[in-house]
């Protein structure tokens, strides 16, 4: 085991959340990880790290999205049954809430996978 290969110490849970929010490249920490709201860029525009090769688990991202959709729908039905709010209020709340939740979860999920893959590739390169 060769420690100290990466310039920064191993990132914890909060590091992943921060990286997901800001879209930080795992190698150079530039804000180049995402080219769309929840789409990983093919390469880092700053250090040219091949992000496309590191991104795995695309099918799992679909499962995660479907799971989130079910959870959010159940929550919406629950609130509808319990409080009977006006339909416009429901729509005004759920549309942006769903988008933010799904995009946030996908970013977090993809960032965590990508950082794990990057650390793995660094270990294998030694």
Which residues contribute to the site for Zn ion (CB under 5 A)? 25, 27-28, 44, 46-47, 49
Q: Is 114 helix (H, G, I), strand (E, B) or coil?
A: helix
Task: Closer to Zn ion by CB, 25 or 54: give it.
Answer: 25
Residue 94 class from Cβ within 10 Å (0-12 exposed, 13-18 middle, 19+ buried)?
Answer: middle
Q: Is 41 helix (H, G, I), strand (E, B) or coil?
A: coil
Task: Closer to Zn ion by CB, 27 or 106: give it.
Answer: 27
> Which one-letter DSSP state was computed for residue 45?
T
Compute the distance between CA of residue 57 and CA of residue 61 in angstroms, rounded to an integer.
Answer: 6
Question: Least CB distance from residue 51 to Zn ion, whole Å?
Answer: 8
Question: Least CB distance from residue 39 to Zn ion, whole Å?
Answer: 16
Task: Closer to Zn ion by CB, 50 or 80: give it.
Answer: 50
Compute the distance between CA of residue 19 and CA of residue 112 in angstroms, rounded to an integer.
Answer: 9
Question: Least CB distance from residue 115 to Zn ion, whole Å?
Answer: 12
Question: Least CB distance from residue 101 to Zn ion, whole Å?
Answer: 28
């Amino acid at each position: 085991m060769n420690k100290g290969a990466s310039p920064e110490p191993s990132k914890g849970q909060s590091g992943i959340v921060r990286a997901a929010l800001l879209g930080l490249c795992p190698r150079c920490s530039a804000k180049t990880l995402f080219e769309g709201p929840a789409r990983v860029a093919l390469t880092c525009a700053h250090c040219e790290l091949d992000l496309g090769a590191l991104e795995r688990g695309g099918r799992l991202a679909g499962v995660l999205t479907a799971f989130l959709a079910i959870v959010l729908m159940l929550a919406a039905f629950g609130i509808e049954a319990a409080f009977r709010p006006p339909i416009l209020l429901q729509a005004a709340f759920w549309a942006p809430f769903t988008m933010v939740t799904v995009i946030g979860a996908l970013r977090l999920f993809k960032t965590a996978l990508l950082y794990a893959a990057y650390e793995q590739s660094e270990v294998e390169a030694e």
